[in-house]
Structure 1
Amino acid sequence: MFQLLHNLSSTDLAARQFPVFAVSFVLASLFYRFGSFALEAVAFLATWFVLDAVVEGARRARERRWGVHPQQGG
Structure 2
Amino acid sequence: MYTLIKSLSTRQLTAIQLPSLVGALVVAEVFYKFHSFTLECVAFLVTWAALDFIITKLAARR
| Residue in structure 2 matched with residue 71 of structure 1 by the alignment | none
| Residue in structure 1 matched with residue 55 of structure 2 by the alignment | 55
Matches within 5 A, 1:1-74: 1-60=1-60, 62-63=61-62
Identity of aligned residues (%): 42
RCO comparison, higher one (Cα < 8 Å, 6+): 2
Q: Normalization by structure 2: what TM-score?
A: 0.88
Larger Rg: 1
| Unmatched segments (≥5 aa) in structure 1 | 64-74
Q: Aligned-pair distance for 1:25?
A: 0.3
Number of residue pairs the alignment of both structures matches: 62
Question: What is the root-mean-square deviation in Å for CA atoms of aligned residues?
Answer: 1.1
